[in-house]
């Protein structure tokens, strides 16, 4: 089904910079994403006539409710989308609309030197005859997750305009700081009031994520000894070289660029330093919880061995868990996954349940007592200039949510 307000709503949202900031000390991490939530999303929800529209300061979320239009009590279903965008230029986004894509040509990003090439991005070939939306080459698009944000608002608009579609109470949440992994930890599950929920933050139609990585992060701060190179022998300890030596002791084939499927990895994300001191940031990923622990243990043992060789704690390690594979917990709630499966099938979709090589807010929320798989939103090539979405994929995401609302009500009557 086509939803006439979905595209203009999406175009409006992506032109608002709501990028989060992992270095910020405030919550939500940036004033701009909070402004987007309060001044844009909240206003649109209020104008549509949703119930209980408010901003929860504790969770940094805009919350709203689609009231039930049946008298029988059914489980309260929730849908969530995150309001922030990733760490790529998000200022002055100029969305470009490419109608009736031919399925094989390169798509120029605005007037820039950059193109979407179907030989590089073969998923483009799936969208012949459809409408592709890109940015202009110097920013991301922001479809991750403003696809989900606009779809949730459009879903609410449609249900309110079509009371013949019977459904129970539905709660909506627009969350902050998903891209920096800190938003969900503040989520107020009791106040949200849903029995289960779905994040709408996935890729192509048919993608259903209920398995994710388990994840940890660590940093190394290395203190070197800086002396003049002329007299360095036996005295200098080059902090940069120490960092290189640590990196070289990790499994060299267990990195993102060498792994796929269910293979985990170590990922060096940042390395800065001088002879005197250096700083390294890593993430660790594994689908198995014990695999994550083994990877963490390897890092700890390498740091301990190197410090022992120095005779002092020259390398300081900070490590923390980020989230766990939600499949372990959702195995107890397969009725929720089956609800999504049934809706996908009803909408003619081929279901792709390969575990996502990442995580969602749902990873944390599931372990906080809100079972929360992830639905597709139509966003592709996230987090950079080559990001795009497909209008027909966004329509289909709304179709699926409408069908889920119907099925949830019908299955409990």
CATH number at residue 303: 3.30.70.360
What stretches in the chain show pLDDT beneath 70? Answer: 412-413
State residue 395's pLDDT score.
Answer: 98
One domain, residues 161 and 111? yes
One domain, residues 36 and 78? yes
One domain, residues 105 and 187? yes
One domain, residues 387 and 271? no
Residue 41 is given by DSSP the state I
One domain, residues 289 and 331? no
The half-sphere exposure of 2 on its side-chain side, counting CA atoms within 13 A, is 5
Rg (CA), the chain: 23
> In which element (H, E) is residue 292 found?
helix 289-310
State residue 228's pLDDT score.
Answer: 92
Query: What number of other Cβ atoms are within 10 A of residue 31's Cβ?
Result: 11
Domain carrying residue 347: 6-211+325-410
Question: What is the C-alpha separation between 81 and 171, in angstroms, rounded?
Answer: 12
1 falls within a domain: no
Question: What is the C-alpha separation between 268 and 254, in angstroms, rounded?
Answer: 11
The half-sphere exposure of 68 on its side-chain side, counting CA atoms within 13 A, is 14
Please spell the DSSP secondary structure of 234-247, one letter per residue. Answer: TT-B-HHHHHHHHH
One domain, residues 42 and 160? yes
Do the Cβ atoms of 149 and 44 come closer than 8 Å?
Answer: no
* Domain end call among 258, 293, 323: 323
State residue 263's pLDDT score.
Answer: 95
| Nearest alpha-carbon partner for 374 in 208, 211, 215 | 208
Tally of domains in the chain: 2
* Domain end call among 323, 348, 382: 323
One domain, residues 71 and 135? yes
Judged on CB neighbours under 10 Å (0-12, 13-18, 19+), 317 is middle
Question: What is the C-alpha separation between 321 and 383, in angstroms, rounded?
Answer: 23
Residue 358 is given by DSSP the state S
State residue 412's pLDDT score.
Answer: 65
One domain, residues 26 and 113? yes
**Which residues are annotated as catalytic?**
84, 178
Question: What is the C-alpha separation between 339 and 63, in angstroms, rounded?
Answer: 23
State residue 413's pLDDT score.
Answer: 59
One domain, residues 256 and 183? no
One domain, residues 383 and 239? no
**Structure-derived torsion over alpha carbons of residues 28, 31, 35, 36, reported in degrees to the nearest 10:** -70
The model's pLDDT over 252-291, given as tens digits with 9 standing for 90+, comes to 999 999 999 999 999 999 999 999 999 999 999 999 999 9
The number of residues making up the chain comes to 413
Q: Is 154 in a helix, a strand, or coil? A: helix
One domain, residues 12 and 85? yes
* Domain end call among 274, 294, 323: 323
CATH number at residue 151: 3.40.630.10
One domain, residues 301 and 286? yes
């Amino acid at each position: 089904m086509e939803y006439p307000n979905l595209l203009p709503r999406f175009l409006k949202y992506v032109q608002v910079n709501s990028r989060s900031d992992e270095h910020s000390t405030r919550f939500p991490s940036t004033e701009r994403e909070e402004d987007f939530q309060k001044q844009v999303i909240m206003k649109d929800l209020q104008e549509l006539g949703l119930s209980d529209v408010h901003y929860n300061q504790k969770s940094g979320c805009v919350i709203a409710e689609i009231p039930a239009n049946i008298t029988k009590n059914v489980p309260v279903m929730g849908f969530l989308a995150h309001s922030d965008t990733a760490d790529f230029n998000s200022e002055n986004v100029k969305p470009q609309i490419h109608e009736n894509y031919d399925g094989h040509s390169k798509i120029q990003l605005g007037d820039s030197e950059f193109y979407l090439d179907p030989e590089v991005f073969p998923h483009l070939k799936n969208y012949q005859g459809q409408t592709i939306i890109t940015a202009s080459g110097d920013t991301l698009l922001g479809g991750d997750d403003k696809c989900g944000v606009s779809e949730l608002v459009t879903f609410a608009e449609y249900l309110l305009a079509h009371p013949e579609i019977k459904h129970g109470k539905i709660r909506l949440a627009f969350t902050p700081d998903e891209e920096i992994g800190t938003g969900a930890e503040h989520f107020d599950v009791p106040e949200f009031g849903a029995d289960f929920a779905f994040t709408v933050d996935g890729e192509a139609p048919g993608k259903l994520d209920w398995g994710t990585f388990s994840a940890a992060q660590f940093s190394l701060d290395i203190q070197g000894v800086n002396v003049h190179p002329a007299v360095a022998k036996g005295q200098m300890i080059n902090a940069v070289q120490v960092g290189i030596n640590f990196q070289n002791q990790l499994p060299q084939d267990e990195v993102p660029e060498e792994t796929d499927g269910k293979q985990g990895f170590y990922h060096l994300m940042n390395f800065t330093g001088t002879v005197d001191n250096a700083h390294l940031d890593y993430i660790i990923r594994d689908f198995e919880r014990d695999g994550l622990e083994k990877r963490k243990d390897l890092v700890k043992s390498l740091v301990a061995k190197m410090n022992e060789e120095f005779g002092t704690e020259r390398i300081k390690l900070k490590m923390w868990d980020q989230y766990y594979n939600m499949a372990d917990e959702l195995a107890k709630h397969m009725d929720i996954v089956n609800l999504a499966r049934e809706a996908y099938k009803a909408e003619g979709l081929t279901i792709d349940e390969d575990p996502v090589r990442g995580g969602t807010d749902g990873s944390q929320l599931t372990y906080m007592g809100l079972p929360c798989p992830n639905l597709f939103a139509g966003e592709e090539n996230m987090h950079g200039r080559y990001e795009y979405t497909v209008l027909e994929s966004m329509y289909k995401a709304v179709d699926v949510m409408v069908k889920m609302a119907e099925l949830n009500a019908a299955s409990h009557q």
